[in-house]
Amino acid sequence: MICENHTRVTEFILLGFTNNPEMQVSLFILFLAIYTVTLLGNFLIVTVTSVDPALQTPMYFFLRNLSLLEVCFTLVMVPKMLVDLVSPRKIISFVGCGTQMYFFFLFGSSECFLLSMMAYDRFVAICNPLRYSVIMNRSLCWWMAMGSWMSGVPVSMLQTAWMMALPFCGPNAVDHFFCDGPPVLKLVTVDTTMYEMQALASTLLFIMFPFSLILVSYTRIIITILRMSSATGRRKSFSTCSSHLIVVSLFYGTASLTYLRPKSNQSPESKKLVSLSYTVITPMLNPIIYSLRNNEVKGAAKRTITQKVLKKLDVF
């Protein structure tokens, strides 16, 4: 359908959170602080898992990929959101909106699959420890990581190309702080039933399928742990999985509230808050969770920071 009586939309207005200038400044300071902590925390995880010899295992290889993915994920939305909070014109071009939507779908889907790969790694480590190094070899880990990063490409291309090919001939105000699918879809001027059915199928595939793999892995893990005769062994096994379980719960809990809840139960304000939790808050919490609950990461971080301080002192 061509926009016959109206000009096709060439840019969108992101309504964001509020029009109150004082509130916008407060939110800018808050989100800038959160984003700074997010970048520092995730880059710290990447650094210590890359340079510390004690962390050269599949578990920390996947953790490093998760931190890199979180950096990319937040980079798609947060800088633009910060600019809009201090800018009088909260404008994003049509192409820019499509680009933001594409990478949001891509990194979100990739994170779902990467979390399932991390669950499989824990499954092999606990349920088949004698063959762990053979099964989780370097080649397999690289293929699993690459598969996770690339898993979202087909659906991201399909959903974004289909969405942006639809006619936008009327209003251009997106009631959100970034170009997410549902709020942008509301501006389409034709029936979108077919697109919504495809989007629902893709969501179920890229959220529920990896989640099912995680459930199967942890069901087997729990059964194996409960069969252990040693209480110390049970505690150690649970501790190696606890950080990952918390991260999975945070990510899938908020994503499900956004994309699997009936539309009638969602208001724009509640959707923004839930979206804020998995686009801004969760990426900040992930490195904190892994750092606080993992003695190996804490020890590696201390060693890395100490070495850098000593090198600087040697220079002087």
**Alpha carbons 61 and 148: distance in angstroms, whole number:** 13
Per-residue pLDDT, 114: 93
Which of 6-15, 38-47, 167-176, 210-219 is least confident?
Answer: 6-15
- Model pTM? 0.87
pLDDT value of position 5: 54
pLDDT at residue 216 is higher than 90? yes
Rounded to an integer, what distance in angstroms lies between the CA atom of residue 122 and that of residue 220?
A: 10
| Element holding 5 (H helix, E strand) | none
Q: Are strands 173-174 and 11-14 parallel, antiparallel or unpaired?
A: parallel
Tens of pLDDT, residues 227-251: 888 777 788 778 778 888 888 888 8
Highest mean pLDDT among 176-185, 196-205, 269-278: 176-185
Asked if pLDDT for residue 308 goes beyond 70, the answer is no
Q: Is the pLDDT of residue 89 over 70?
A: yes
Q: Which residue has the higher pLDDT, 187 or 269?
A: 187
